[in-house]
Structure 1
Amino acid sequence: MANPIVSRSLDEIRFWSRIMKEHALFLSLGFTYEQTQLIAEARQFITLFERIEEKLTRFTVNSDLREVQAFNSEVYQAAAAIWSYKRKVLGLTLRCEIRTNNFPLLVDHISREAAYFANRLKELNEGKLAPTPDKVIDENVFFLRIMADHAKFIGHLLDPSERKLVEQAGEFSHDFDQLLFQAVDLESMRPQSETKPILSQFLDQNRVSVVSLRDFKKTARELIEACRIKSNIHPLLADHTFREAERFLEIIDLFEANLKRNNK
């Protein structure tokens, strides 16, 4: 029988390594032509995560736990390195030492995702698989902020003449900001086991909103790929944000299943 730590580790690496590789690509596309060193560093990270993806194909859910843990440690170093690079770019941007086409919030956003990835690998190597009630809220705070950021980026990267889509993106931004504030309130209350119904309701509410945003992203992706809307959104970026919404839905399902098991 497959070890759940092995299965989860490979799943996390499969999803997030692709995300990290694409982050490096998006950063490289946003730099100006004279920022050759930063572009070269970004391309090195693209190569690094492509190698990780290639090495991942050698593992299966039946692979030896110790070998997978060693791989987790290796990928952790890569995630930590790209986090450091992203924070360096953010610092240069905030100090006005460089001017790029990458929003500072976007650079901060993708660095948060690198930190999340690294932390997940660390937790898995410590044998932490099932989330506690506190972790359910923390994870939702993280992903709700990611979704709110996505809506803001979409609104800013659409051509201003796309008024209806810009308005829709603004509405999603507002909705997810409100969900985030609600999650932060719940986080400060630190619900214990007797408040699991509140957590379940919280997850259900988040699912409804994430499904709506996911569907909006899917439509936007299809329109961008068909060149039917005006924007500065790269087709791969549209698909990238769609996949992250899908990931959040998978995690909500995972948490709900765990809550139901613990209630038995």
Structure 2
Amino acid sequence: MYWNEEQQSGGSNISPMEFVERSLEEIRFWSRIMKEHSLFLRLGFRCEDTQLIAEANQFFHIFERIEQQSHAFTNQTDPMTIRRFNSEVQVAAANIYAFKRKVLGLILSCQLPGANNFPLLVDHISREANYFRKRLIELNEGKLVPLADAIIKENVFFLRIMADHAKFIGHLLDPSERKLVDIARNFSNDFDELLFQARDLDGMRPYSQTVPLLDQFLDQNRVSVVSLRDFKKTARDLIEECKIKSIIHPLLADHVYREADHFLTIIDMFDAHLTGTNV
């Protein structure tokens, strides 16, 4: 996901050590996310959806095993071993992506009336599965996108994710939590605007890919992501302490907090590569 200074103009081969480190970072983060998606889907199905519940449980255990296995490797593990592991995990990511899209199709064709999985939520988590799948393919193929392209691409993806999170929080809070619902709605509007700006910047490539523009782009996004991350942390803590009314599972509250924190890490690392500073 992160590109070095010398890769800005056209990319270069990733070193074996960097390949292992990046692969394990991606798998450790996203396998936990995929595992939790399986749980959230299962909780949203109806009691009679026994086949879908069984499939969700199966994916939960698959990604739990992957997560555990990833922590058994180190940055000194043989790159060929990690390459094979990436391929195995990529298949699992492709399979859960297909499962999520199947569920989305069932919801949109009104075949799961009364279930509690929002169509946008299912689309959201399927986008994340597809992102994870493609990341592993890119790593195994040694593809390194030039830095300027990567900055815009990653921000477009994650800004949409953050906008979705704000919408989910607003809908899952009890309507009587008027102030928190308003805050979530404002975050949704803020990130929709940031996403539109990112897409505009994307449409102006390659002329928009100057260091001053990209640096300002990252700085602006960072400010909003920090605010949203802190709001999510507060909401998570209040939910865990039973201080607010909602139907948000405590694990879901922590889940969206971790994704915001992950996005901040990406922004900081991009900024460090762009400006030549240390994180």
Q: What's the TM-score, normalizing by structure 1?
A: 0.96
8 A contact 1:133–1:192 mirrored in 2: no
Percent of aligned pairs with the same residue? 69
1:25-44 to structure 2, matched below 5 A, reads: 25-44=39-58
Ranked by relative contact order (alpha carbons within 8 Å, sequence separation 6 or more), the top structure is: 2
Partner of 1:207 in structure 2? 222
| Cα deviation, residue 127, structure 1 | 1.5
Aligned-CA RMSD value: 1.5
Partner of 1:54 in structure 2? 68
- Give me the whole-angstrom Cα distance separating, in 1, the residues matched to 2:48 and 2:209: 58
| Cα deviation, residue 57, structure 1 | 2.3
- Give me the whole-angstrom Cα distance separating, in 1, the residues matched to 2:58 and 2:145: 34
Q: Aligned AA for 2:226?
A: V
User: Is 1:230 matched up with 2:232?
Assistant: no
Q: Aligned AA for 1:16?
A: W
8 A contact 2:97–2:130 mirrored in 1: yes
- Give me the whole-angstrom Cα distance separating, in 2, the residues matched to 1:194 and 1:137: 9
Q: Quick one: structure 1 residues 65 and 2, their matched pair in 2 at CA, closer, same or farther if it must change by over 3 Å?
A: closer
1:1-80 to structure 2, matched below 5 A, reads: 3-80=17-94
Q: Quick one: structure 1 residues 24 and 222, their matched pair in 2 at CA, closer, same or farther if it must change by over 3 Å?
A: same
8 A contact 2:239–2:250 mirrored in 1: yes
Q: What's the TM-score, normalizing by structure 2?
A: 0.91
Partner of 1:242 in structure 2? 257
| Equivalent residue pairs, number | 262
Q: Aligned AA for 2:140?
A: N
What is the DSSP-based 3-state SS (H/G/I as helix, E as strand, rest coil) of the residue aligned with 1:151? helix
User: Is 1:82 matched up with 2:90?
Assistant: no
| Cα deviation, residue 116, structure 1 | 0.4
What is the DSSP-based 3-state SS (H/G/I as helix, E as strand, rest coil) of the residue aligned with 1:122? helix
More displaced 10-residue stretch of structure 1: 245-254 or 1-10: 1-10
8 A contact 1:90–1:107 mirrored in 2: yes
- Give me the whole-angstrom Cα distance separating, in 2, the residues matched to 1:202 and 1:69: 34
Q: Which runs of 5+ in 1 are unaligned?
A: none
Runs of 4+ residues over 4 Å off in structure 1: none
Deviations 1:81-138 (A, max 9, x none): 0000000000011111112100000000000000000111111111235653122111
- Give me the whole-angstrom Cα distance separating, in 2, the residues matched to 1:27 and 1:249: 26
